[in-house]
Amino acid sequence: MAKYANGTNYAKTIDPSSANIIDPGLIGGKVRIFQDTAVIGASTNLNSTDYIIVGGKLPKGSQVVKIILGAPGTTALGTQNDLKVGDEGDDDRYMTGVQVSSAAVHVGPNVAGGMYYTVTGTTDNYIRLTGNDAGTRVSTNTLKVSIFYVVE
């Protein structure tokens, strides 16, 4: 079998010049995890205009590499029970159209721009769970989320 090519970052590591400086976290970075739960009571709803902040403050320059959203037991009200995962600057930066039905687990980002997104430290430091559209009403649920990010 013949070698086809080198990955971009691998090629930079074998030619360490000033033009080939790699962003922190891309090679040998430390993966850190925020794990959180959000409880939605039976008498309340998470609507499309509401959001829940989960995890902690993402450091400037960190990159989100994976988000796992689990909903072990959901009662969905209204016409939709889909959520988005994003931040203040972009409410679906990482995941969109994630159905939180009984025993559902979703792994993202499922949005191309969210994969390896580098946190700028402006409106993107905190992860938010938001209703996906005007019909979203999620009730009686414990949402579990794990946010994996890389930082040097």
Structure tokens at 123: 């409106």
Contact (Cβ atoms closer than 8 angstroms) between residue 100 and residue 92: no
Q: Residue ranges of the domains in the chain?
A: 29-151
Burial class of residue 81, CB neighbours in 10 A (0-12, 13-18, 19+): buried
Tokens of 144: 């579990």
pTM: 0.82
The model's pLDDT over 107-141, given as tens digits with 9 standing for 90+, comes to 999 998 898 899 999 999 999 998 877 767 776 67
CATH match of 29-151 with 2.60.120:
yes
Question: HSE on the CB side for 135, CA within 13 Å?
Answer: 9
Instruction: Give tens-digit pLDDT for 63-117.
Output: 999 999 987 765 555 556 778 899 999 999 999 888 776 667 889 999 988 988 9
